[in-house]
Chains A and B, each alone.
Chain A
Amino acid sequence: MSASPQAHANTANSHSTAAAPTVVSRAALIAELARVLPADCLITDTGRLRAYECDGLMLMREMPLAVALPTTEAQVVAVLRTCHRLGVPVVPRGAGTGLSGGATPHKNGLVLSTARMNRIVSVDRLAQQAVVQPGVRNLAVSEAAAPHGLYYAPDPSSQIACSIGGNVAENSGGVHCLKYGLTVHNVLRVRMVTMAGDVMEVGSAAPDSPGYDLLAVTIGSEGLLGVITEVTVKLVPRPRVARCVLAAFDDVRRAGQAVADIIAAGIIPAGLEMMDQATTVAVEAFVHAGYPLDAAAILLCEADGTAEEVEDEIARVRALLDAAGTTEIRVSDGEAERLRFWAGRKAAFPAAGRISPDYYCMDGTIPRRKLADMLEAMNAMSDKYGLRCLNVFHAGDGNLHPLILFDSNDPDSLHRAEAFGVEILELSVALGGTITGEHGVGLEKINQMCVQFAPGELDMFHRVKAAFDPAGLMNPGKAVPTLHRCAEMGGMHVHHGELPHPDLPRF
C-alpha cells in the first residue's frame, strides 16, 4: 500500500536522528551548487556567511557551509536535488526574524534563503486573494492590497521585516488573531518543493482541496517539510472604523477577570492585549504613549467594523470594564490616538532592549482564566532567579510574551534567564497550555517538547516529517526532539495527571 516502504523502515527506529553526517566536502558542495546557481545567488565567503549564522534567536549560532539565494523555483528545485543527492542538510530561511532558532544553520548544511523570491504575483480584489512569492514581507502584502480596501490580517510585531514564507513556516499570529485568526486561517494555498525536488501544491484558491488537508500540516511545519515557493493568501475588507479602549487596573487579577468577562459576554474584540506595570513604565519612557504609570496592569481592547458596530461594542466593553473595577478608561478619539495607544504595546521589545543589555522572549499560551495565576507565579520566579521580567500578553487568546531581562556578558545571568524561561514554559503546559503559541519550537524549545508530548506523539511527528522528507535532510534536528534526547533529559511527560501509555517501554 505504501509508495516507499524503505522510508517507513527509516522512521520507525532511527527517527530523524537528524541528518546523516555529510559525506561530501564543503568544496565539493559549492562546486556542485555553482553548476545550478548563478554566482550572485551563492554565498561562500566567511564574512558574508556570518550574516546567516543565527536568526532572531541570537543565543544560538552556527556557521553554514554555504548560503543559496535562489531567485526562481527552478533554482530551488535544482539546489534541493543537488543536496538530496549529496546527502547535505538544508535549512530554509525567510527573513531571519524568527525567535526560536528555526533558521539556525546546520553545521554540515546549506542555508536556503527565499529572500530574493520577493515578487507580488497578483492581487485580486474580487477574489479577495493575493498570490505572492515567499520572500514578500508581511506588511508589503497589506500595502499592495490597500488600494483595493483590503488587507492581510495576520500582523506579527515583526511585520515590517518578516516574510510570508516564514509566516507560513511558523504559523505566525499577531495582535489581531483573536478575531481574524492565525496564518493557518488566512493562507489558502502553498506551493512548495520537497527535499527530493518534487514541486507540490497544497490547498487551493477554492475553499478546500480533495484528500488529506496537507495545507494544515504544512503551515507551522517550521521548514521541516519543504521549501515554500509561492503562497495564496486571503485578503479581508478593511474595517471602516477601528477604536481602541485603554483600561487601567490596580490589580492584575481584576484585569485578568475583565478579559474573561469580555469574552464570556459574547464579544470577540479585534485585539485584546495586557501589559503589566513594569512594561508600561519601560515603554512609556520610550514612546510617550501617555499610559497611566501607577496602574498594576493595563488592557488595550480594540473594536472594529462599521461606525455603528464599533459604537455598540465599545459601550458594551466599557460597561464590563467598569463592572470589573477598572480605575481609568480612555477611548481613542481619532486614528492618531488609536495608534498612540498601540505604539507602546508594539514597542515592548525595543523598550526592553533599551533598559537591559539582553532580553529573552518567551511564548507560552495558557487558558485565559489562568492569566493572573501565571502572572503571580512569574513574579515569584523573577525573585527566585533575581532577574526582572516585563510581561506583555495577547490576553484575548492567552498567549504570553514575558521578556526576561539579563546580561549575556554575565554567564550566570544567562544561565538564570534560560532556567527562568524553562520554568515558565513548563508551568504553561501544567496549566493546560502550550510551550509555544506563535514563535515555534525551533531549537529553542526542543527540550520542552518532551514535557508537552508523550513518546508516541513525538514518534508520530517524526513519521509525518518522513512522509514529506523520507531522507530526513530538511531542517533536521529542529522542532521535534528525538526520543533519545527526551530520555536523556530525564523529563517524563504527564498528561492530565496520568501516564499516557503505561504499556510503552520507558527509557
Chain B
Amino acid sequence: MSHPFHSTLRELVLDAAAQGRTLRPHGSGSKDFLAQQLAGAPLDMRGAQGVIAYEPSELYITAHGGTRVADIEALLAGRQQMLAFEPPLFGPGVTLGGMVASGLSGPRRMAAGSLRDFVLGVTVMDGQGRVLHFGGQVMKNVAGFDVSRLIAGSFGTLGLILDVTLKVLPLPQAEQTRVLELDDATALLRMREWGAQPLPISATCWHGGRLHVRLSGAQVALDAAAPLIGGEAVDAVEAAALWRSVRNHTHAFFDGDAPLWRVALPPTAPHLALDGDTLTEWNGLQRWLRSDTDADALRHVVGAMGGHATLFRGGRTVDRALGVFEPLKPEVMAVSQRLKHAFDPSGVFSPGRLYPEL
C-alpha cells in the first residue's frame, strides 16, 4: 500500500546513492545497541504508521513499518488474537519495521515458531529507490523466492521495510505457569524429555535453580499436563509479569554492566561450563550469559556444539572488533555480499551494521 512518505524516502535513497552517502533506517531505536556499528545518516521510518488491513478470520494483519507493535498487539488482543512469536519489546515505541528488521523472537518461539515463520509478505524499497512487493496475505504462497523471510533479521541492510503482513494466531484459551526447583543440568534433561512428548508447553525459563514452565491451550489439556510437569502452580499475575520480564529483558538478570551474550544451541547441547550467570530459555536452545569470558573461547566452545554466539549487549569492557555477530563461513559470506549488492548496489543502507563486509 503506497503512502506519501514513500516518495520522500525515494528521494533520500536516490540522493544518497548518487552522492555516495549512507542512510541508517531506524524506528524507535530500542535495538540500536545490537549492532557491529551504527553508520549512516539516521532515517526515521516512523513517517508511515497505521494498520492497512486486519482480517481476523484470515489470520493476518498488514501495517506500515512505522506502526507501533504495542498498538498492533492491542488491536489483536481485542479480537482474541496475538503475535505468537512474542517479539521482545525493549521499549514502549518498538515499531513493526524494527521488529521485523531484527528478527527477534520471544518466549513462545519453540512452541509457535520464530518471527520469520510468521512473515507472509513485505513491501521494501531497495537501494535503487524501487518499491517491491514480496509474498502476500495468504499462508501458502510459493511464487518466487521467499524474499519476505530474507528481509526478516537483515537489520535494515537490504532495504527499507515499508509495510509488513504477519500471520496472527488465536490467543490460547488458557495458560498456567508452573515452577520447579532444579539445577541447570537436570532442567536441560527434563525439558528435552518433555519436548519429545505431545505436551502444551509454550515457554520455559531456567534461572538461579528455578525452572518456570508455561502451559498454553485448552483448559482440559492444561489440567492433564500439569501433573506430568510437576512442580507448583504460579499465581497468574506473577507469572504474566515473569514472562513479560523475560521477553522484554526487564528481568533482574538483564540488569548491570557485564557483557550479555546470546547463545543459540542445538537441542542436545549440554550445560555450558563457563563462568558467569546464565538464564536459559527455549527448552535449552537459547541461553543468555552474563560473562567477561573471552569471546574467541566462548565462540570456540559454542561452535563445537553446533551453535553460535552474539554479543547482545557489550557492556563496557568488550572489544567490538571481536564481532558482535558470529563470523560467517567464507562461502556464506560470499553469497551474502552478493545478496547485499543485489538489493543495495550502492551500499546505501546501514553499512557494517551486521558485518564490516555487508
Q: What is the interface of chain A, defined by CB distance below 8 A to chain B?
A: 1-4, 7-8, 11, 124-129, 148-150, 170-171, 173, 177-178, 181-182, 184-185, 194, 198-202, 204-214, 216-217, 219-221, 237-240, 260-261, 263-264, 266-268, 305-306, 308-309, 311-313, 365-369, 394, 397-399, 432-441, 445, 449, 452-454, 456-458, 460-461, 463-468, 470, 479-480, 495-496, 498, 500-501, 504
* One of B39-47, B145-153, B234-242 at the interface: B145-153
- The residue in chain B whose Cβ has the minimal distance to the Cβ of A2 is B341
Which B335-356 residues have a C-beta within 8 angstroms of A?
335-343, 345, 347, 351, 354-355
Which of B26-34, B109-117, B249-257 lies at the interface with chain A? B109-117
B331 pairs with A200, CB closer than 8 A? yes
- Across-interface contacts of B144 in A (CB, < 8 A): 441, 449, 452-453, 457-458, 461, 479-480
Q: Which residue on B lies nearest to A208, using beta carbons?
A: B264
Q: B131 to A500, Cβ gap below 8 A? A: yes
Q: Which residues of A contact B185 (CB under 8 A)?
A: none
Q: Are A263 and B57 in contact (CB under 8 A)?
A: yes
Residues B160-211 near A (CB distance < 8 A):
169-171, 173, 192-193, 195-199
User: Nearest residue in B to A150 (C-beta to C-beta)?
Assistant: B196
Task: Tell me the bound Cα distance from A111 to B140 in angstroms.
Answer: 28
Contact B308 A210 (CB under 8 A): yes
CB distance from A97 to the nearest CB of B (A): 15
Residue of B nearest to A209 (CB): B308
For B338, the closest partner residue in chain A by CB is: A467
Instruction: Give min CB distance, B86 to chain A, whole Å.
Output: 14
Answer yes or no: B322 CB below 8 A from chain A CBs.
no
CB pair B196 A149 closer than 8 Å: yes
Q: Supply 8 further A-B pairs (C-beta < 8 A) apart from A264-B56, A398-B138.
A: A126-B267, A129-B266, A207-B286, A208-B114, A211-B325, A264-B57, A454-B132, A504-B130
A264 to B343, CA, bound (A): 38
> Quick one: which of B106-148 are within 8 Å of A by CB?
109-110, 113-114, 116-117, 126, 130-134, 136-147
Question: Is B265 an interface residue when CB atoms closer than 8 A count as contact?
Answer: yes
Tell me whether A210 and B140 are in contact in the complex, defined as CB-CB below 8 angstroms, given that A181-B113, A467-B342 are known contacts.
no
Q: Is B140 touching A8 in the complex (CB atoms < 8 A)? A: no
Beta-carbon contact of B268 and A127 below 8 Å: yes
CB distance from B33 to the nearest CB of A (A): 17
B142 close to A438 (CB less than 8 A): yes
Contact A501 B141 (CB under 8 A): no
Contact status A398-B140, CB under 8 Å:
yes
13 A–B contacts, CB within 8 A, in A order: A124-B267, A125-B196, A181-B113, A204-B306, A206-B264, A207-B286, A210-B326, A212-B339, A266-B171, A433-B138, A441-B143, A460-B132, A480-B144
Residue numbers in A under 8 Å from B152 (CB-CB): 213, 216
Contact A436 B142 (CB under 8 A): yes
B80 contacts the other chain (CB 8 A): yes
Nearest chain A residue, comparing its CB with the CB of B152: A213
Nearest B residue to A498, CB-CB:
B2
Given the known interface contacts A199-B331, A457-B144, the answer about A206 and B149 at a Cβ–Cβ threshold of 8 Å is: no
